[in-house]
Structure 1
Amino acid sequence: MVLPRGSKERFHVILIKPSKYDDDGYVIRWWRAVVTSNSLACLNALTESARDRHVLGSEVEIAIHLCDETVQRVPIRKWARSIKKAGETGIVCLVGVQSNQFPRAVDLAKEFQKEGIRSMIGGFHVSGCLEMLPELTPEIKEARDAGITLVAGEVENRWDGLLREAYEGTLQPIYNFVADKPSLEGVPGPLVSKNDLKYFINAQSSFDAGRGCPFHCSFCTIINIQGNQMRGRTADDIERLVRLNHAQGLTHFFITDDNFARNRGWEAIADRLIHLREQEGLHSSIMIQTDTLAHKIPRFIEKMTRAGCRRVFIGLESVNPDNLAECGKRQNMLSEYRRMLQTWRDHNAITYAGYIIGFPGDTYESIMRDVEYLKREIPLDFAEFFIWTPLPGSKDHQALYRKGARMNPDMNLYETAHVVMEHPKMSTDELMRAYHDAWSSFYSKEHCLTLLKRRKGPRRRLLFASLVWFRSTVFLENIHPLLGGYIRLKGRKNRRPGYPIESFWIYYMKRFADFFRYSVGMIQLVSEMYGLVRTATLPEFADYEDIATKPETTETAGGLSLIQKQKRAVVA
């Protein structure tokens, strides 16, 4: 390659967070989405650091391209042809790939390789399979045999070397770094520009203050890949990230730690965020994830809400003690649920909880009964329902794999909204009915009014916005809120291999019908929600209380029905 005098050779690093396919084979993509990718931000920061340190040599410039496929179409041919036309080279990195995204990631990698650009895939699916299983699974073998490099584990200590090997054309088929648990102190933290977040509601940034979790839930992949020993960034690291984001006008943050309450540096981080907020006027709106016992940590809730925590996701999982024991979630004490959620409410934080249905002992009737307990006796703002799924990388999946249990081989279905194996007490149709009915029950018009009446002041606006998000993605698009957004975008030819490409007229007639249905449905949904807000603000509900929100007494502590269930479980 002949370069103009004084110019540098360029090596392109294309970082892509892949989406997944819907049930019709179309890539899930939105005009505006909600959940950003922390993995993409991490790899972007590491690549920028490598570029600034000239890890490929002083005469080689690293050109970085970012794409989150949930909101952007991947311009495969445009990028590939531009690189080849300039006589340059590059590497495509599919980052943070979960099991349900793996089929799409492989298809993207193959398309780039047809254009002459090598690719590698990392994330939880590759890491979980290589760490927990005795052999390569069929989809991993297929990717390897297609010439795709597979990377397991965290790469903070390895990224420079991988980039050098990619540049030199010496990448190996598989790298397994799972045993290497790098320190996060002083490491470039996750960061993207505000422009890269322009397609997301609220332009929410994210960072992981730490990794790992000390608990032993059988369905969890985090503990087997990131470990049970907590590792974290320092308060100085977090301050730097917050300042860099505020300088861009980004003030909303999702701290992606699987369990921030068990981060040993949580208090130092909280104190630093409080200082920035109260002494320097750097106000941040924060969401965290934590466990059901965080309220017992002295000062945790008080300091986190002072620091700006407005939303908290809690691993509730179930109100059935048998189910909690089944999945190793013994730290979840039913008698503490109500007290824990009341404490967060007292500090004006909106609460979200993960709730799993389809445990081996579940029936349709038991699921719907427990959802009613959840609605009536627990002061929870949002329930996120998931179908019990043996995710690759979890103890559940490992045990079933070793037994030779029949599990659906299509990884696209492993997003916890599909049934991927037979249930001992319910048919697939019955379990799917329970899943959909759980959403319909909790987010019914009647219960949404209850949720709005329970909330007073400015948090009611946040509750309203999130209810619109949840109800629209579930009821109008039949997609889980964590995969959702606003106004679905599709591409006629952007379809999973094996599905037919529809004719121009048929496709656009269907898209027009879909858009019309969605628009009418959204107008009706928002109008209904505004009506519920007006009702909730009537004077007669100014002092509204119910069994879930009444101040705790000896008689109401934990919820009477929940205590009775717990006692029955102990006796049994």
Structure 2
Amino acid sequence: MIRHPQKVIKTIWFAHLSLTTLAALTPSSIEVHITDENVEPIDFEEEVDLVGITGMIMHSKRAYEIARAFRERGIPVVMGGPHASSLPEEAKQHADAVVIGEAELVWREVLEDVQKGRLKPFYKADRFCSMKGLPFPRIDLLRKDAYMTTHCVQTTRGCPYQCDFCYVTHFFGKTYRCRPVEEVIQEVSRLDGDFIVFVDDNIAGNRLFAKELFTRLKPLKKKWASQASLTLTRDRELLRLAAESGCVSLFIGIESLSPDNLKEVNKSFNRTYEFEESLKLIHDHDIMVLAGFIFGLDHDDEGVFERTLRFCEKNRIELPSFFLLTPLPGTRLFQKMESEGRLLHKDWSQYNGATVVFRPKLMTEETLQRGFNWVCQETYSWSSIVKRVFHPQQRFYTRVLSNMAYRSIAKRTPKSPLPALSKILQKMNDTIPVQNTWNLIHRVGERMAEKGFLFGEKSPEVLRLYSTYNERLRTLFIHLEGSLDQHGAKELAKRLKNTLSEKIDQVIIDFENVVAFSQDAISFLSRRDLFQKEEGKLWMAINTPPLG
């Protein structure tokens, strides 16, 4: 279990609503006490009649230890939450009963069965609960001084999207439900102070609901933070209403800069070509961005860490959060990894988003872990903080304090060097301008027709390089796209020469998407032996234009 210092929790941590919601569902005749072990120790000698435990997968080992301590005293234990719901049979080995999924429709039954002394092994509602008339969470039972805020409100449950790696879809059954706006406004109005955290997984998943909510929030003059997808920026009115209603911070799951990665995990609604403009729009509305990135997806090579860091700096992402791809039980990703034999183990305490627990496709486990460690530390170095934080937007003090808290966490990450081929990969994922277009020959034929290139079209004025290194095969794959003149050929040859490394056994250059070329360029590359087609050679070319 990863523990953070109390000062860090106080700066960036908000309270969760699982146990406070259960407390609100409990009859007033029953006394309830909540202990969050993140902020205070558990009193294992406390006189209680029932213990309820919730937690994420990485907390399971500790949850089982807590359960054992109370059960040894003869106190019944009920477990629930994401991990227990995903692996109820496992959780039942450590508890007297397991609540699977949402508790609203079964919690009263659990309490009644406890009083009768006949707990059932499992409790699962036959439907999802209505979002209408839910009791307000008992945040009065939390230590208010221990968190950044306890003023947390949920307006929706679930997410309209179904990303393969996310447990939200699994837990909430592919549903997205909204509370009545009037009830949300009532709950917000009764909270003192001027800052609220909406703990939704996607507060703008239903645009009509979100617009009504933001409109009704505006007169309350609260500042708020939440989580949303980048699709929010495609509706300018929605973004404007969010800002006008008091939105000051959004966590956004960018996940990857690779469209292939996003497509593979069912998140292609994130459009990489929109990223920079979308982030600018959010910043233009004085909203701070907390962005999530995942490393270890199947199209990630060891250049991904530096590439992601430079993206964060260029786009002034105030608080980047990095995670190693973690296959959570119950998700499609877990099923895929397990069926492919890529899980390294099932020690759930290591499934914490910061430890490699699977076999990556293009990197070794060691390279992925070292690259992750490097980017965590480098992103929260003073030089990177300055690049991301020092700009004229509002809430400068908040940005600095938050980065200092994240920096204290990053400093606990083991020091690791930048992966060896990172600099090479940055140069091999680039654009080379075309200097002479007058002698370019349009490449015609079946492949170009499939790509939609029409005879008579103006040739692209750049040569784009897309490169991926497969560490397991010790092979660098280079895909060329656009136009290739002699200048581009010379620059390409120069860069290829610089790729020579003891880590690379072969370089495969794919010319399939070169739509125009000059004979001078082709002759030059041929003389440099870069058009070889024999397997086993250092340089190997495929889908080449015709020679001479």
TM-score under structure 1 length normalisation = 0.69
Is the 8 Å Cα contact of residues 316 and 389 (structure 2) preserved in structure 1?
no
Shift >6 Å, 4+ stretches = 563-572
Matching of residue 454 in structure 1 with residue 391 in structure 2: yes
Cα distance, 1:105 vs structure 2: 1.0
Q: Match of 1:413?
A: 350
Q: For the Cα contact (< 8 Å) 2:33–2:141, is it kept in 1?
A: no
Q: Against the structure 1 CA distance between its residues 194 and 99, is the aligned structure 2 distance closer, same or farther, given a 3 Å change threshold? A: closer
1:407-461 superposed Cα distances (whole Å, 9 cap, x missing partner): 42211111211111222332222111110111223222222111232243x4111
Task: Report the CA distance between 1:389 and its aligned residue.
Answer: 0.8
Q: Secondary structure in 2 aligned to 1:454?
A: coil
Q: Distance in 2 between matches of 1:112 and 1:438?
A: 41
| CA deviation string 1:249-277 (max 9, x = no partner) | x4322211111111352122212211222
- 2:96 maps to which of 148, 161, 166: 148
Q: Which has the higher contact order (CA 8 A, sep 6+)?
A: 1
1:68 aligns with 2:36: yes
SS at structure 2 position matched to 1:314: strand
CA contact (8 A) 2:253 2:292 kept: yes
Q: Deviations over 1:200-246 (max 9, x none)?
A: 13x34212111111112110111122133311111121122112222
**Distance of aligned partners of 1:451 and 1:29 in 2 relative to their CA distance in 1, 3 Å threshold:** closer
Q: Given the alignment, which residue of 70, 75, 99 partners 1:117?
A: 75
Correspondence list, 1:54-93, <5 A: 61-77=29-45, 79-80=46-47, 83=48, 90-93=49-52
Separation (CA, whole Å) in 1 of partners of 2:274 and 2:136: 35
- Tell me, in whole angstroms, the C-alpha distance in 2 between the residues paired with 1:45 and 1:147: 23
The Cα shift of 1:371 comes to 2.8
SS in 2 for 1:198: helix
1:328 equivalent to 2:266? Answer yes
CA contact (8 A) 1:319 1:370 kept: yes
Partner Cα distance (2:162, 2:465) in 1: 26
Closer, same or farther in 2 for the Cα pair 1:564/1:266, shift >3 Å? farther
The corresponding residue for 1:309 is 247
Q: Which amino acid aligns with 1:68?
A: D
SS at match of 1:409: coil
Match of 1:546 in 2: none
Q: Is 2:381 the counterpart of 1:444?
A: yes
Residues 375-390 of structure 1 mapped to structure 2, 5 A cutoff: 375-376=313-314, 378-390=315-327
Specify the alignment match of 1:36 in structure 2. 15
**Corresponding residue for residue 463 of structure 1:** 399
Answer whether contact 1:311 1:349 (CA < 8 A) is retained. Answer: yes
- The number of residue pairs the alignment matches comes to 423
In the aligned structure 1, how far is the partner of 2:345 from the partner of 2:61? 13
Aligned partners of 1:213 and 1:227 also within 8 Å: no
Counterpart pick for 2:202 among 256, 259, 265: 259
- Aligned to 1:360, the other structure's residue is in SS state coil
Decide whether aligned partners of structure 1 residues 475 and 165 sit closer, same or farther in structure 2, where only a CA change above 3 A counts: same
Partners of 1:221 and 1:160 in 2: how far apart?
Answer: 26
Query: Can you list the C-alpha shifts for 1:124-179, whole angstroms capped at 9, x where unaligned?
Result: 1122335xxxxx4xxx1xx42344311111011222111111222221112233x6
What's the offset of the Cα at 1:288? 1.1
Check the 8 A contact 1:157/1:182 in 2, yes or no: yes
1:44–1:190 contact (8 Å) kept in structure 2: yes
What does residue 303 of structure 2 align with? 365
Measure the CA separation in 2 of the matches of 1:569 and 1:351. Answer: 33
Change (3 A) 1:396 1:261: same
Among candidates 205, 211, 218, match of residue 157 of structure 2: 211
Partner of 1:223: 169
SS of the residue aligned with 2:33? Answer: strand
Structure-2 residue corresponding to 1:167: 115
Match of 2:509 in 1: none
- Structure 1 stretches lacking a partner, 5+ long: 1-20, 52-60, 84-89, 131-135, 278-283, 480-560
Q: 2-side partners of 1:565 and 1:244: how far apart?
A: 54
Counterpart of 1:188, as a letter, is: P
Q: Is residue 127 from structure 1 mapped to residue 71 from structure 2 by the alignment?
A: no
Are the equivalent residues in 1 in contact too, given 2:225–2:248 (CA < 8 A)?
yes
Aligned partners of 1:219 and 1:391 also within 8 Å: yes
Equivalent AA in structure 1 for residue 140 of structure 2: S
Percent identity for Structure 1 against Structure 2: 25
Q: Which amino acid aligns with 2:35?
A: C
Deviation of 1:565 (Å) = 6.7
Summarize the Cα distance change of 1:370–1:198 in structure 2 as closer, same or farther, 3 Å threshold. closer
> Contact 2:34/2:141 (CA < 8 Å) preserved in 1?
no
Amino acid aligned to 1:164: E
Tell me, yes or no, if the aligned pair for 2:20 and 2:141 is still in contact at 8 Å. Answer: no
In structure 2, relative to structure 1, the CA distance for the partners of 1:393 and 1:348 (3 Å cut) is: same
Is 1:346 the counterpart of 2:290 in the alignment? no
Q: Is 2:361 the partner of 1:424?
A: yes
Give 3-state SS (helix, strand or coil) of 1:437's partner. helix
What is the deviation of 1:361? Answer: 2.4
> More helix by proportion, 1 or 2?
1
Deviation at 1:335, TM superposition (A): 1.7
Give 1:170's aligned amino acid: R
> Which runs of no fewer than 5 residues in structure 2 stay unpaired?
416-461, 468-478, 483-511, 514-548
Sort the Cα spacing of 1:292 and 1:565 in 2 relative to 1 into closer, same or farther, 3 A.
farther
